[in-house]
């Protein structure tokens, strides 16, 4: 998916950019390592999500060649945050970042109904039952993106291989992501294709959207740990989260 990046602000604590895709859609992107900027972005996002609905957050990461996670990307609606993990210095990630990931913006009684293992097991049961019956056993709104856990949570973090992403964030940075839904699982159920179970983003984009997600050579050669990310790197990092968001809408026809 072709995307272009136009910088609108470059300062010591953030870079603002508009990433425009081939379909004309624009994503307003913030690249930062500042705890204050991150807290403000999250607070604004939470304030915009106050009508009692459940909001989908695209979650992607970028890794160095040693597989360490150095960038975390979120997209909510048409706004993207790219968090540069290597450059927060002595300042720890803000409290709001942890609260956002574990979704503490719900009442205490609205706790997780299933732990992650139970949710995964339930998704497997649903998939196998639908395969045997050769028809859906839940309507799309009932499946709710297979987000069986935390059905009253405000935010659901989606992505291809999102459980692996969540595990990596926990292992490397002690970030806990509470409520997740895997796009590969959803594609397998919605399209009746077991081979898409836990498929990666590039394959899902190709199989479901007929879109190629080949990583540009400029990004592959670049140092993702640099503080001043190239326009191509910003565009590709944003594109990964955007494609995940489009996949979710396409799979659930919404």
Q: How far apart are CA 149 and CA 168, in angstroms?
A: 20
Q: How far apart are CA 58 and CA 43, in angstroms?
A: 17
pLDDT in tens, 55-80: 899 999 999 888 899 999 999 999 99
Q: Of 199, 195, 156, which is closest to residue 178 (Cα–Cα)?
A: 156
Q: Of 112, 115, 126, which is closest to residue 197 (Cα–Cα)?
A: 126
H helix intervals, the chain: 35-48, 95-102, 116-133, 140-143, 162-173, 183-191, 201-209, 217-221, 231-252
pLDDT of res. 1: 61
Q: Which of 50-59, 133-142, 161-170 has the lowest mean pLDDT?
A: 133-142
Q: Over range 22-44, report the average pLDDT.
A: 95
Residues of the chain above pLDDT 90, percent = 51
**Model pTM score:** 0.79
- Banded pLDDT at 248 (limits 50, 70, 90): confident
- Banded pLDDT at 103 (limits 50, 70, 90): confident
**CB within 8 Å of 17: residues ≥ 6 apart:** 5, 6, 7, 8, 28, 29, 31, 231, 234, 238
Secondary-structure class of domain 3-252 per CATH: alpha beta
pLDDT in tens, 181-193: 999 998 998 888 9
Q: How far apart are CA 204 and CA 187, in angstroms?
A: 8
């Amino acid at each position: 998916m072709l995307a272009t990046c136009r910088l609108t602000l470059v300062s010591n604590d953030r870079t603002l950019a508009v990433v425009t895709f081939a379909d004309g859609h624009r994503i307003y992107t913030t690249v930062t390592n500042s705890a204050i900027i991150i807290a403000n972005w999250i607070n604004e996002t939470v304030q915009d999500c106050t009508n009692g609905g459940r909001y989908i957050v695209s979650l992607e990461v970028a890794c160095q060649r040693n597989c360490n996670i150095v960038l975390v990307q979120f997209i909510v609606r048409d706004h993207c945050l790219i968090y540069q993990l290597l450059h927060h210095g002595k300042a720890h990630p803000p409290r709001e970042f942890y609260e956002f990931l574990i979704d503490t913006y719900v009442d205490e009684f609205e706790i997780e109904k299933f732990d992650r293992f139970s949710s995964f097991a339930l998704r497997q049961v649903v998939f196998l039952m639908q395969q045997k019956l050769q028809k859906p056993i839940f309507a799309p709104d009932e499946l709710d993106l297979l987000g069986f856990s935390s059905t009253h949570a405000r935010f659901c973090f989606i992505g291809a291989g999102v459980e692996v992403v969540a595990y990596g964030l926990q292992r490397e940075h002690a970030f806990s992501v509470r409520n997740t839904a895997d796009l590969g699982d959803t594609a397998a159920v919605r399209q009746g294709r077991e081979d898409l179970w836990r498929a990666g983003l590039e394959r899902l984009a190709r199989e479901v959207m007929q879109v190629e997600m080949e990583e540009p050579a400029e990004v592959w050669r670049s140092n993702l740990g640099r503080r001043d990310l190239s326009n191509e790197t910003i565009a590709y990092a944003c594109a990964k989260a955007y494609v995940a968001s489009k996949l979710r809408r396409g799979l659930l026809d919404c």
